[in-house]
Structure formats: structure tokens, C-alpha cells
A and B are shown apart, each in its own frame.
Chain A
Amino acid sequence: MKFNDAILGLVVLLGGLAIILQARTFPPTYGQAYGPDLFPTIIGIGFVLSGIVLVIGGWRERQAVGWVDFQGVGLGRLVDAGIVLLYIIAFIFLAPRLGFLLTAGIGAWLLMVRFQEGRWLSSLLIAAAVTLAADWAFRVLLLVPLPQGWVLPRLPW
């Protein structure tokens, strides 16, 4: 997914402006020449200037490059990328409730089924094995308190 530099330049430029505006609300440090707004402001100015350069450059080559180039990515591929993102989002929201095992396991299973076009049984076995191994390695060996959730009982190890 390739955008014309002018579009990204505009995003960079507006982002820089937003940073500068936000930084102006930081109170100065009492009795000091430089406050917490100094560095964000410098960064913001840098973004604005780079944004302008990008916009000018992108505008010049708009004929040659066009505005957006999907580089022949089909709908199927977009769905693939979409479910990768959905998987992570689902983990963020569901893992604290359903627990690591269920969320990560079912998600990985669905992803494998999709990527391997069917083959749900082998995918199920692999996903289950990997999730259980990860749970054991991280929770037991590395003492990472993975979310337990309310559904499954705590595994005996």
C-alpha cells in the first residue's frame, strides 16, 4: 500500500502542528529557562518542515506516482492482514477475561485454518500444542503472570 509522499507529508505536517499545539499547554518549570515543552516543540517543528518537503516532492511527482497504489493486493490478502490485526485486538480486549489459553489458542487456530485453506484438524492440534507450550514456558518457567481469565480452571502445573 503505497501512498503519494504528499499525502504522508500532510499527515506528518498536521501531526507536527498537533504536537506543537499540545506542547504549548505544558506549564513552564518555575525559575527555569527551558521547560517540558522545549523538546516536543523542536520535534514538532522538525515534523512540520519535513512534512512541507514531502508535500512539495509528492506534488511534483503526482503524475508519475499517482495518489494511492495498492500494488495489486487483492481482497483476500486484505482480509488476511485484517484478521491478523483482529487477532491482536481480540487478544487485547478478551485475554484479561477469557484468559491467555482460550484467546491465543482459538485465535491462532482460526488464523492457521484461514492461511492453510481448510485443514482445521491439523491446525487445531498445532495451535493447541503451541499455546499450551507457550503457557507452560512463560507462566511456569519464566514466571510471566499470563492472564488467567474466568473460563478455564488453572492448569495443574
Chain B
Amino acid sequence: MSDTLIIAFGLVFDPYVLGVMLAAGAFGLFVGAMPGLTATLAVALLVPITFFMDPIPALAAIVATTAMAIFAGDLPGALLRIPGTPASAAYVDDTHKLTLQGKANLGLGTALVCAVIGGLVGASILAFTAPLLAEVALRFSTQEYFWLATFGLTCAAFVSTGKPVKGLVSLLLGLFIATIGIDIMAGQPRFTFGSVELMGGVSFIPAMIGMFAISEVLRWALGSTGGRDKTKPVRQATGAVFTAVLPIVRRYKIGLVRGSLGGTAIGILPGAGADIAAWVTYAISKKFSKEPEKYGTGHTEGLVDASSANNASLGGAWVPALVFGIPGDTITAIVIGILYMKGMNPGPMVMLNQPELLYAVFIAFFVANLILLPLGYIAIKSYGQMLRVPREVLMPIILILCMVGAFAINNTVFGVTVMLVLGIIAFIMEENGFPVAPAILGLVLGTMIERNFMQSMMKADGNLLAFFDRPIAATLGVITISIWVLVAAGAIRRFWRNRQSGALPSSAE
């Protein structure tokens, strides 16, 4: 094993490989910082280039690109409230409000440092336990995934703000949008109204751009928030990027550990990636925080958890991909294709014949996260210059980027239509106190919940007890239901207390 490790180190610490990683990292930063362009797209664009490379630099390029792209998604999120990738959406309100308070460098610095730490932790864990973890992930069938997704949905209760009923409406909206398109279970078109484009469903990316960016532009145009004439737009980003971050990291070190471990664990499961990792860890962080009311108002605590989690989750998806040839997410699906093109069939044969490959990937993750520190620093500094551009000029530019981003997901203007419609809906929702976060969560998890529920029921011929007849499923089910009971009990207790305290003055009347 140590020999393999040394060989793997030699493979990665090669000037050519490191050069490729640096270039790929800069590319990943650029793509991730564009609203709507995902880490997956960045990797897909690398495919024709990696075709001419050896396996190790090819894989290292992909690793570097994804690690940078996920962090870079925080940049437009913080500065413009437009998350660059879905994985940044969970904490966009916090980073953006920090920017409005003139603390852009604090927010982004925290995100950067936590992303680096999360990535390093994830890579180290995976390097030593990959085969074992892959074994556990393979035990997950539809029942387990159903409970996992349902647990994810519970997080909506924690990320939601304002009146609970409005959070519920928002969640239901996200779930409803997820049902549009051809239902995979029955092959039945639902809510498509004869549109071929809608048969493919509502893509997550244009929906997200619309709900965050377009609603933000509309709000600015109407002058209702962000102050078009009240205050002069955004204050300059001040303060050093790193020095202020250290106390925060020290203060929320538990969150850092929680986020890194949680992100790694979620990443290993096929079908759950960086976006779900960010949402779930953000919600857990808020649940256990001493000051949950500060979440979403420019608080760094949830940021610590979630930004370490989304980078930590990246490595996880590579485990089932390399060990069993099962893609953990869309990025690793492309990776598997590239490996095949190189004549290497992912699976245990790779582990037997070229064990250094798996270690090289995790070392590449390690290196990529170290490169992220200086590259991210430069990106924060230069991206901050955008704040100098007057909003009158910036907003039309943002609109162009949003339209191109929504277009690029499927290369049709239909994506732009989706963006427009959901942008208007999200604008009306936010104006009236409906939180947007639960809708995004519903959109992410809706298909997963429904599909796994239906699949399980088809296997069990409609017997609901099937959700408890496998040991892992039963455990997950009991945990999820206990959380529901606790949340419900807490809500009832609060309601009761409010009623009593509200009843006292009225009885004195």
C-alpha cells in the first residue's frame, strides 16, 4: 500500500500534471463563476481535451476543475445573489447579505477556507476507506434512498423562514415543478400540455437562475430592496480575505467537522451530490446552532458547514465510480466514459491492476484543494472589482449572462422561458414573505422521493411495510420519523406557549 502511495504521489507530482491542474483550475473558476454553468458542464467541455492526455493528467484536470467550480459558484452568489452552481444556493442569502454589509471578503474568505478544509478532509477519508465505503453505498436500494430523500425534505422545515404555512407552499411548489414532464415510472406525460420541451421536465439550472437572479433584477428595477436610490448600491469589499476568517473557523470548528464529514458521507451515495450535501448540512447546522435566527441574514456559521460540505462531497462520488463503475453523479458519469476511452474499465479490475490510480485521484483532490487557496484568493480579489461597476450597467450585463446560462443547459430558448416564468413567481413569493429556499429543495429532491417511493412499492406490490423490512432502511426510517415527531412536538409546544402568553393579556381585559 505504501509503495502504491509513493507511485501515486510520483504520478501526480509531475510538472506536466501540476501544470494541467493549474490550467484546469483556472478554467473551473471561470465556468463556476458564470451563473448557470455547472461543474458538470465544465467537465463535459474538458472531454475532447482530455482525449489527448494520459489517464492521470486527464483525471487530475477533471478533479481540479470540479473543486474550483464548486467554490467559484459562491462568487456571483455572494456579490449578486446569483449562485453560480446549485451547490452554492443553500447559503446564498448569508454570503450576499455579508456583501451588502461591506463584508464580501469575510464571507467569501470563509467560504474559500472552509471549502479547502472540507475538500482536504474528504480526500483524506476517502483515500483510506474508499473500498469499504463503496461496499456500504452498494447496500442502498430504493427504500434507503426514499428515506434519505425524505430526510432531506425535513431540512426544508429548518431552512424555511417566516410563517410555516408559506414555507410549506414554497416546498410544495418545488415538488410540483419536479413532477412536470414524462413520469419515468409509467411513461406518462404530466402537466406538459402537449409541449415536447416540457416532456423533458423543468431543468433545475434555469429554474434556479430565474428564482434567484431574475427575481433579484426585478426587485432592483422596482427599487423595492437593495435600494436603488435610498443608499448608493453596495459598499466596497473591504478587509483582508484570510485574517478575519481564522477566528470564525476556530469558533465554528464543530460545524467544520460536521460539514466535512457529512459532505463526504452524502457524496459517496450514488445520486446525491454537492447540492444536496450543502442543503442538508446547512439545515443541520441551523438546527444545532445557538443562534438559528441569524441564519440567512449574513451569518457565517451555516456557511462554514455548507461550504465545507459541498467541496467534501466531490471526492465521495468517485468512490463507487472507480470501485464499481457506478457513477455517483453526472461528473463521475463523464469520468467513467473518459476512462473507457482510455481503455481502462472502472471497477475492481482497476483496483487490482492499477491501485495507484485511485490513490492518484485522491492525491489530486488534495493538491487541487491546495491550489484552490491562491487561485480562490485571486478570484475573490478580482471578482470584487465587479462591485465598482454601477448597478445601472451591471444589471443588463447580468441579464445577458443569465439568459446565456439558461440557454446553455439544453441549448434552447426554452430554458430562458423557464427562467423568466420562475423568476416572476419567485419575485412575487419573496415580496409576500414566501421563502424561496424550500422550493429549491423541493425541486432537488422531488423526483428522487417520488421515484424511489414508486419503485419500492412496485417491488413490494403496494405494501407500505416494505419501507421497514431492510435493516438500513428501517434505521433511516425510524430516524426520519423521530425527527418529524420532534419537530411537530416543538411546534405544538411553541404554539401552546404563545397561546398561553397571548391569552393572559386578553383575560385581563
With A2-B432, A144-B411 as given contacts, are A81 and B222 in contact (CB-CB < 8 Å)?
yes
By secondary structure, the B interface counts as: helix
Question: Which residues of the partner chain A approach B462 to less than 8 Å between Cβ atoms?
Answer: 32-34
Q: Mark B395-408, 1 if CB is under 8 A from A, else 0.
A: 11101110110011
Interface: A155 (CB within 8 A): no
Q: Mark B409-425, 1 if CB is under 8 A from A, else 0.
A: 00101001101100110
Which residues 17-59 of A have a CB within 8 angstroms of B? 19, 22-23, 26-27, 29, 32-36, 38-40, 43, 46-47, 50-51, 53-54, 57
Interface: B37 (CB within 8 A): yes
Contact of B224 among A23, A43, A71 (CB under 8 A): A71
Question: Which residues of the partner chain A approach B188 to less than 8 Å between Cβ atoms?
Answer: 26-27, 36
Which residues 176-200 of B have a CB within 8 angstroms of A? 176, 179, 183, 185-186, 188, 190-191
CA distance A96 to B413 in the complex (A): 8
CA distance A131 to B179 in the complex (A): 36
Interface: A126 (CB within 8 A): yes
Question: Which residues of the partner chain B approach A89 to less than 8 Å between Cβ atoms?
Answer: 420
CA distance A108 to B191 in the complex (A): 34
Contact of A40 among B190, B228, B395, B399 (CB under 8 A): B190
Interface: A73 (CB within 8 A): yes
With A40-B176, A53-B165 as given contacts, are A95 and B413 in contact (CB-CB < 8 Å)?
yes
Instruction: Please give me the residue from chain B that is nearest to A73 by CB atom.
Output: B222
> A residues bordering B, Cβ < 8 Å?
1-3, 5, 8, 12, 19, 22-23, 26-27, 29, 32-36, 38-40, 43, 46-47, 50-51, 53-54, 57, 71, 73, 77-78, 80-81, 84-85, 87-89, 91-92, 95-96, 100, 104, 107-108, 111-112, 115-116, 123, 126-127, 130-131, 134, 138, 142-147
Closest 10 CB pairs of A and B: A33-B462, A115-B392, A108-B396, A111-B396, A80-B221, A81-B221, A144-B408, A36-B183, A36-B188, A36-B186
14 pairs, A vs B, C-beta closer than 8 Å: A2-B432, A29-B185, A32-B458, A32-B462, A77-B223, A84-B395, A88-B423, A111-B399, A112-B396, A126-B393, A127-B396, A130-B400, A138-B408, A144-B407
Known: A34-B462, A38-B454, A47-B176. 16 other contacts (CB 8 A): A19-B176, A34-B453, A47-B169, A51-B169, A54-B165, A77-B222, A81-B222, A87-B399, A91-B416, A92-B413, A108-B397, A112-B392, A115-B392, A142-B45, A144-B404, A145-B411
